[in-house]
Amino acid sequence: MKIHLAILYKDYLDLILEGKKTIEARFSKVKCPPYGRVSIGDKILLKETGGPIRGEATVSVVKYFDNLAPSRVVHIVNKYKEQLQIKDNFLNQKLDSNYLTLIFLKDVVEVSPYFINKRDRRGWIVYYNHAPQSIQLDLFGNKVSDKEVKINPYYSECENGLHSFFKSPLKNSEGYPRCRNCGKDIIHWKKLHIRDLKNIDFVISELRKEWWRNYWWEVEIDEKAISHALRKNSNELYVLVRKRIEKSVGIVYEFRGRKQPYRDGYQIPYKGNIIYYAQHATATCCRKCIECWHGIPQGRNLNNEEIEYLTMLVMKYIRRKLRDYKRGVIRNGK
């Protein structure tokens, strides 16, 4: 038995984990893995592009095709259309392939996400004697020791009441996320989505039930970010926060048929400005998180009321962090 590492786009990986996509197809112009390398009974580790390993599967059947022509590629894909779940735009990019591998999957299981030490751009890797070694990464992609905490949005400590709802495929009866790692349904989503600033302490308490959000409430702010914030009064900080919300998540643009902020999901750094910390802590960092936690749909500009609500959430975080910092300075006699 061989172990394979398959790198998949999130949409296709989600379909596999949901049981809707039961065949993985790999096209190529030259002979390269997985062509000719996969056997029945082999194990496949399912890794999200740029993300962790999220699932495992076993090969039940494998079919190889060569000497392909565009018409034959279309014929094969149409024959297994339901099991492949291939999008037309993706298929159009593969019509000039010479080789095709169809891998039929069984015993698909979702696993607690973990990272591996992979630095190249290969989409398929064969491990003949052993599985790839798992590693832990910090927020900046650097390897950390086993004793350090695994900091990524998939991580959770469910036994301590800190869960992960990040891209969770698990939903409750109303379609809201459950913890991706333990399945618990503990967030009052409907009340959160009312967006009532009178209940801002409730909002914060709900956010802090997720390990990722709670991490940003607990983390120590870097010196540059603290110094910058301390030089501003409350009104100046409010203006900066509101501008940041408007610029980073308030305005959407047309990208490949979809309206979203520029580089949505990647536009907020992890250090250098206290507002960055606040946006991660309050789920105002991207429109996906805003839709999930605050019930504001994607695909349109934020209105003034929504911008004000998100601004006040961020200000709540900043005031609390600055207050705690000043108290710590006084206690230490500095």
Q: Where are the domains of the chain?
A: 3-135, 158-331
Mean of pLDDT values over 306-329? 92
Q: Write the pLDDT tens digit of every residue in 112-136.
A: 777 777 767 899 999 876 667 665 5
Mean of pLDDT values over 197-206? 95
Average pLDDT, the chain: 89
- With a cut of 70, say whether residue 151 has pLDDT above it: no
Mean of pLDDT values over 300-314? 97
**What's the distance, Cα to Cα, between the start and end of the chain in Å?**
62
Residue 58: what pLDDT? 96
Residue 334: what pLDDT? 45
Q: Write the pLDDT tens digit of every residue in 11-69.
A: 999 999 999 999 999 999 999 999 999 999 999 999 998 788 899 999 999 999 999 99
Inter-axis angle of helices 304-331 and 200-207, nearest 10 = 70
pLDDT band, residue 154 (cuts 50/70/90) = confident
Residue 148: what pLDDT? 38
Task: Specify the higher pLDDT residue, 154 or 325.
Answer: 325
Rg of the chain's alpha carbons, rounded to an integer? 23
- With a cut of 60, say whether residue 144 has pLDDT above it: no
- With a cut of 90, say whether residue 149 has pLDDT above it: no
- The Cα 34–Cα 246 span in angstroms is 46
Mean of pLDDT values over 64-82? 96
Task: Specify the higher pLDDT residue, 111 or 60.
Answer: 60
pTM: 0.60
Which positions ≥6 away from 69 have C-beta within 8 Å?
none
- With a cut of 90, say whether residue 102 has pLDDT above it: yes
Q: Which helix (H) or strand (E) segment is 224 a member of?
A: helix 223-230
pLDDT band, residue 331 (cuts 50/70/90) = low
Q: Where are the beta strands (DSSP E) in 39-167?
A: 43-48, 53-65, 99-116, 124-127, 134-135
In this prediction, what percent of the chain has a pLDDT beyond 70? 91
CATH architecture of residue range(s) 3-135: Roll (2.30)
Phi/psi of residue 319, nearest 5 degrees: -60, -40
Residue 130: what pLDDT? 67
- Token readout for 142 is 């650097």
Residue 138: what pLDDT? 44
Mean of pLDDT values over 274-278? 97
